[in-house]
Amino acid sequence: MLNLSRLSEPTFSPHSLNKYASIMACGNGYMGIRASHEEDYTQQTRGMYLAGVYHRAGRNETKELVNLPDVLGIELQLDGEHFSLLAGELLCWERELAFSNGELRRSLVWRSTRGKRFRIDSRRFVSLDQLPLVALQFSVTPLDGAARISFSTGIDATQTNSGRQHLDETSVQVFDQHFMQGVYETQDRSTDVVISASCQLDTPSENCFTAKNRRLNCHHALEAEEGQKVTLEKIVWITHRHDKELEQSAFAQKGLAELKRCAEQGYDALLEQSALAWDTHWQTSRVSVQSDDPQDQLTLDYSVWHLTAMTPAHNERCSIAAKGLTGEGYKGHVFWDTEIFLLPFHLFTRPQTARSLLRYRWLNLAGAREKAQRNGWAGALFPWESADSGQEETPEYAAINIRTGLRQKVASALAEHHIVADIAWAVVAYWQATRDSDFMRSEGLALLMETASFWISRATDVNGRLEIHDVIGPDEYTEHVNNNAFSNYMAWQNVHDALALMEHFNRQDDAFTEAAQKFLARLWLPSTDAQGVIPQDDTFMAKPAIDLRRYKAQAGKQTILLDYSRAEVNEMQILKQADVVMLNYLLPDKFDRKQCAANLAFYEPRTIHDSSLSQSIHGIVAARCGDTPRAYAFWRAGAAIDLGDDPHSCDDGIHAAATGAIWSGVVQGFAGMQIIDGELHLTPQLPAHWQRLQFSLQWRAARLDILVKGASVTLRSSAPIAVTLWGETHHLLANETRTVDLPEFGTATTEGGNNV
Ligand code: BGC
């Protein structure tokens, strides 16, 4: 077993309830449950979500990830007094999420307003080996004499998405005087959700069930002696379906049978099985660091935990929401975040999951084609935000101006077209890292050709030169510009790769080839100045710059919009997030170190980092430029978005992309992993206070274990592999271990067999 970190909540605070509910959320890619407390607090937002369960309720709404009936809430009465940490006195507190087995635990001692102390312990987990399973234990121990304890818990379907009800209750029932079940249906009748739950007390009690006002509850009451620990165990099985082949009652019965099987095994046995699954997962995915600062390892474990908990690896019809399965921010929609920030982790640890994420796009090609066609273009224009289909889900309007009553239009769906090239970029990365020709022949080439065809039709001929007009690049503070460098270069790459791979796979399409060649020859690629700076778009360099320091000090809060209108911001050199720097990151073989450094130096002072997708990318580019201290500062700032002190930074869910960027910041930043000309490169340079870094990568048929220690790297590969280390290519045989010192420090040594 690996020695994994634990994420702890240092104290109970009503102000940070929702932050911790997000960062300590449990999940398995099939479902996610916010780490809310069992007892209610007015400010606390409960949330349980199933990947792919979306619903649109009401006019002018987009689909949203449905907040399901709650199963974690427990109302506890102690000698008739309602248990809440807002009353009485909290004498002792511990709460932590153990990454090793996925268990969230809380332990506290509370003095009631009548002066009696109680110890309360709770544990819960979402199973990694049985996806529909959640289990919890909740224990109470009276510490000052006997006490009357009563618990009420069940399935609470009064949950909403900020007041929106998505589910109708079809039936609620109690079976065998013990098992509760609620059957629900989305209001559009497309999806059934069945929640089955059992509640068992380890001590004889009076109990009964009630079903009222959308709450199915089980109530237990008993007298407990001083020091007697009373434990309630709740096992829950949650399933859903979109196809209605089976009778609803038969589908519900299946859920009940699974619940009974699990309830028989009990919490501890179920946890052990799930912990084994986590252990296997950590063996291949963990990034271990030996650092003077223990926060660094915690940050990495946090990242891999959430990358696993948020990713629906089991279902290619779903992708990853911008907040994973931890909250309702962005309504659970899928953005470019998936391909650019989240897919790399999967690609290099479990490539089949990366494949599944790409298949989600492929399965939704029809919607993307339709969007392109509706707008007069060819090929596929993927939606800026999507849910469970290829339809555009970006809300038409954003926040309302409450003084004028007018709503601000969201332009992303109309012009943030770079997502098309981002998806193509991910397809090519997948091909390079896996050489999966089956995927390329069926899905990969279709994605590349459709996206390339879009760009070819999207370009405008200006006196013989092709330009791309009226777009929004990654920097969303600059809208409706011509020749955004990011979009043009990425579009060029998209078309180039489509052509190259069609040739590689002997796919003949003369009309496409001719159009693609013309596009590549004539598309305008904004060129660098003498220093290497690329203009962000046609008009950017002529706009005035202002001192952004006070806005940068409050990065992520978009405070600039309190002082300037969006239209004014658009007319200044103000970036929300990495744009040209993002381009430098994505196409490492196109820009040399000097150009990257020049763009970093020019654009960073003009970038507020108002998006969580920004600092980490600056960090990776800084690392590639050899500025490790700066790279580390960006990496920590990126991680602090959710893990830092701000009590409200992630109330509505973690920033999924920032979580992916923690992994990328280390693997692609400090370890310098890049794909150049289709080959694997590493140029490790660790922060000064890191003594060692260890991780594994899946590259084609090989699992490559990498250990960086000071200025030397030890590689071990399970299959023959070529790796370029600090510019020199090494060919390793299967099971060969090789240690290489940074060139000026020494030479390579080879041995057989040992594990890194
Ligand atoms: C960023 C986008 C991102 C979205 C979802 C926005 O604030 O500007 O780049 O895709 O958040 O994370």
Does residue 505 register a pLDDT over 90? yes
Q: How far is the CA of 558 from the centre of ligand 1 (A)?
A: 13
What pLDDT shows up at residue 417? Answer: 98
The residue ranges of DSSP E strands in 60-161, in sequence order, are 64-65, 74-78, 81-82, 89-98, 103-111, 117-126, 133-142, 147-156
Cα separation of 399 and 396, whole Å? 10
Using the structure block, give the residue that is written with the tokens 């899905």: 443
Cα separation of 750 and 756, whole Å? 13
335 lines ligand 1 (CB under 6 A): yes
585 lines ligand 1 (CB under 6 A): no
Q: Mean pLDDT throughout 272-276?
A: 98
Does residue 748 register a pLDDT over 70? no
Closest atom of ligand 1 to 336 CA is 10
Q: pLDDT tens, 676-723?
A: 999 999 999 999 999 999 999 999 999 999 999 988 999 999 999 999
Catalytic residue among 339, 476, 479, 604: 476
Residues 321 and 334 sit within 8 Å (Cβ to Cβ): yes
Q: Are strands 721-725 and 679-682 parallel, antiparallel or unpaired?
A: parallel
Q: Which two tokens stand for residue 617?
A: 């990318």
Cα separation of 369 and 454, whole Å? 9
Instruction: Identify which of 337, 477, 566, 582 to mutate to test ligand 1's pocket (most ligand atoms within 8 A of the CB).
Output: 337
Q: What is the DSSP code string of 298-310?
A: HHHHHHHHHHHHT
Spell out the residues 6+ positions from residue 189 whose beta carbon is closer than 8 angstroms to its own.
none
Does residue 753 register a pLDDT over 70? no
Q: Residue 269 corresponds to which amino acid?
A: A
Q: Which two tokens stand for residue 36?
A: 């809310």
Does residue 644 register a pLDDT over 60? yes
577 lines ligand 1 (CB under 6 A): yes
Does residue 112 register a pLDDT over 50? yes
Q: How far is the CA of 473 from the centre of ligand 1 (A)?
A: 11
Q: Which two tokens stand for residue 514?
A: 């001719």
Q: Which two tokens stand for residue 488?
A: 């043009």
Cα separation of 545 and 187, whole Å? 50
Catalytic residue list contains 476: yes
Q: How far is the CA of 563 from the centre of ligand 1 (A)?
A: 21
Closest atom of ligand 1 to 474 CA is 9
Residues 31 and 126 sit within 8 Å (Cβ to Cβ): yes
Average per-residue pLDDT for the chain: 96
What pLDDT shows up at residue 723? Answer: 98
Instruction: Identify which of 335, 341, 475 to mutate to test ligand 1's pocket (most ligand atoms within 8 A of the CB).
Output: 335
For atom 9 of ligand 1, the residue with the nearest CA is 474
**Long-range residue pairs from 363-368, CB within 8 A, at least 24 positions apart, any chain:** 363/316, 363/317, 363/390, 364/389, 364/390, 365/390, 365/446, 365/447, 365/450, 366/390, 367/391, 367/392, 368/420, 368/450
Q: Which two tokens stand for residue 105?
A: 């635990």
Q: pLDDT tens, 94-105?
A: 999 999 999 999
Closest atom of ligand 1 to 657 CA is 12
For atom 1 of ligand 1, the residue with the nearest CA is 611
534 lines ligand 1 (CB under 6 A): no
Q: How far is the CA of 379 from the centre of ligand 1 (A)?
A: 24
681-714 in b/e form (b: 16+ CB < 10 A) is bbbbbbbeebeebbbbbbbbebebbbbbbebbbb
Q: pLDDT tens, 365-402?
A: 999 999 999 999 999 999 999 999 989 999 988 877 78
Q: Mean pLDDT throughout 127-131?
A: 98
Cα separation of 719 and 128, whole Å? 29
384 lines ligand 1 (CB under 6 A): no
Does residue 647 register a pLDDT over 80? yes
Give the CA distances from residue 238 to residues 257, 276, 630, in Å, rounded to whole numbers and listed in that order. Answer: 12, 21, 46
Q: Are strands 749-752 and 133-142 parallel, antiparallel or unpaired?
A: unpaired
Q: Mean pLDDT throughout 730-755?
A: 73
- Largest alpha-carbon pair distance within the chain? 90
Cα separation of 242 and 501, whole Å? 36
Give the CA distances from residue 540 to residues 318, 380, 478, 482, in Å, rounded to whole numbers and listed in that order. Answer: 37, 28, 9, 10
Cα separation of 716 and 681, whole Å? 15
334 lines ligand 1 (CB under 6 A): no
Q: How far is the CA of 330 from the centre of ligand 1 (A)?
A: 9
Q: Which two tokens stand for residue 12?
A: 């109970």
Does residue 745 register a pLDDT over 60? no
For atom 11 of ligand 1, the residue with the nearest CA is 611
Which phi and psi (to 5°) does residue 676 adopt?
-125, 125
Q: How far is the CA of 611 from the centre of ligand 1 (A)?
A: 6
Cα separation of 591 and 588, whole Å? 6
Who has greater pLDDT, 399 or 659? 659
Cα separation of 255 and 166, whole Å? 21
**Long-range residue pairs from 568-571, CB within 8 A, at least 24 positions apart, any chain:** 569/477, 570/477, 570/478, 570/479, 570/480, 571/543, 571/544
What pLDDT shows up at residue 1? Answer: 63
